[in-house]
A and B are shown apart, each in its own frame.
Chain A
Amino acid sequence: MPNAFWCIVEDDRNGSPKKVMAEVIGEAARLAPGRVEAVWLTDKASEAGLKQLGEWGASRVLLLENAAFAPYRSEVWTAAAAELATKESPAAIFAPVTSRQREFVARLAAKLGVGLSADSVRFAMEGDKLVATRPVYAGKLLSKVTWAKSPWVATLRPNVFRPADAQTGKTATVDRPSLSAPGAQMKFVERREEVSTGLPELTEAETVISGGRGMKGPENYVILEELGRVIGAAVGASRAAVDAGWRPHRFQIGQTGRTISPKLYLGFGVSGAIQHLAGMRTSKVIVAINKDPEAPIFKIADFGIVADLFEVVPELTKEFKKLLEK
């Protein structure tokens, strides 16, 4: 049987895979039907989480459960995954783009001596080779890349690939391979939680609201958060707003911030500088609200309103509330 496509599980640190895994598994299954395996490095997997991976389409889960795997450390994960990869010889190793997966699979690829395609947005089998497509130069071009040998290691941009439909009752075999005891040089000290806004995480949200220089000051983001609560959207900011100190850097969308690809992006007072477009141009539907009819964001927007955002936001909140209450 041809070799498996591995999907490295990104979890919520509480024993459940994140929903982005439906996209990773869905894409792997499209490329390699029946050959999808989930590889899960965790301190504790839940039964519900294992069941979920099976329903999304993994035929087998390779469960690496060890207290040393949480919190994530690149050296520990790499040693374990490389040892397993050497035994199992997967054809491909896929992971979603998250802060830790980006580092982990890069290090794993180096250990295995193979190539890496980061932040991929499309895959195709060309003969017996995998070809990946990824945005480069601030998203101004797309680069098609291929590997000299397998395993083909890649990270996948969230919200781009069609998620697998969960099939109730479909299960995965769960194997718990035994590996060498993990050794680590770095030691965990503490985790500092961010003050939660109660809104979805930027990179995971299906709808994202972004406020730019037109917001005029930090105090005005409450109106975007209120709209966010009505439609279940994350609220981000442009570099101009972050550099002005209105929002912390973790909310920045763009080249030196987060890359997002939601179903719906709503930009308020965002001009649409290239470095901002780099972080959001793969959004499916783009809405721009700006007083300036010449703002470059209108060139890529699907819908635009040329008006004062401080008049538009309250109206929009009211109208969405009416619509969603129906």
Chain B
Amino acid sequence: MKPAPKSRNSSNQASAKAAELFPERELRRIVATVLRLAKSTAAEETEVHVDEVADALTRFANNAIHQNVAEQGLTVSIRTVADGRTARATTNRIDEDSLRAAIEASLSLAHSQPKDPRLLSMPAKQRYRRVNRFVKPTAALSAEERARAVRRACDLAVKNGQVAAGIYSTGQSQSAMGNSRGLFASYRETHSEFSITVQEGPAASWAKANSADVRAFDPQKLAVRASEKAHLAVDSRELAPGPYTVILEPSAVLDLVGFLFYDFAATALEDKRSCLNDRMGKQLFGQNITITDDAYHALQQGAPFDGEGLPRQKVLLVDRGIPRNLVYSRAAAKAAGKQPTGHGFALPNEYGEAPMNLVFTGGDSSVDKMVASTDRGLLVTRLWYIREVDPYEKVMTGMTRDGLFLVENGRVTGAVRNFRFNQSLIEMLNNVELLGPAVRATGEEAFEMVVPAMKVHNFHFSEVTKF
């Protein structure tokens, strides 16, 4: 059993206030303890990851809070290297006996396998660019404050004869990693999110925002937006499936293009499971598509180092429609004769690396301008249950959800029943007519990225559902 942290709430002080993380020095102490304990084992090299989370989430449905949760936890993950072999063991117990047991477990796992001739020595000390993504007001938001905001949103729905469901979450996390070659890195951030679905009869609509800073969005404004769009979605009509011009709001764009992220991994190309195999350096997408991986972008979150402890680098992945660069873990870089880019996953793993901070270059249009420029098309709020049908042509299927609207002669004229789409992302990114400014988008299928709204022609809807 681990000792109670001195800095935490005792039972006498417990309240619905947000929990606190350990000070960084405590994580540093855990890293140092593991490295010290490992010295007396067969481990030739040792790497430690310490991750701590303190999250809270208030969930509401039918205009009332029905679930309201908080969690606090810390894990220590240890990778050892011995005789050309490596393996990982993870525990959430931080007393010395448990840490020693995890080291031994890691060594035991490592010894069970053949030698890996490609295994690299652990990286030495690195320099990292500072990022500041810890916002105290986010960390301090209490359950009562979340409940009051939810109450206001639900009251609005009640007043409008609607039904609201959603979440309001806040939290904080921190990570530290170190290794026996002197590397040490640490990072902490806060996160907050408000998501709301408003139903009016059979119609529904949705709004969501996500930020390190809880003051960056107004839950009530999101509630108003979802409420207004839900009202607009009442009395939907059925249209025939087929190719349509679509105006994809940023969340819809995100949840589609998010499926491209692993295709930019050098290991994915090596494994021949990327859609970029045999396509690097060719005009694959339209000239208005430029994609960068940039962990330092003001709208991004996440640590400035990767799972191997290397600093994340900004990488231009697609330049005006041409895939130019990939991201590399240390092993993938060595195999390809390239420099690692700071995108590796914690070892050992079979996937190598991936860009986790995608930023699409935006344009100067807006959703309103896109609507105004459209003779006949569909405005898409959100997509749902997107899955890959064809990995090389990058054909995705999925449904529209929570607000699909017909645009005629430059204005929204009504709601439409939801469609299923089967659409190649490669084709889609060749058919982009207009781009909005890139924003931090949040959906449900992909992790958050910085993407614009898009107007796309010839988007393939194959079937229609019953609502």
Q: Do the two shown chains form a genuine complex with each other? A: no
- Which residues on B are within 8 Å of A, measured CB to CB? none
- Which residues on A are within 8 Å of B, measured CB to CB? none
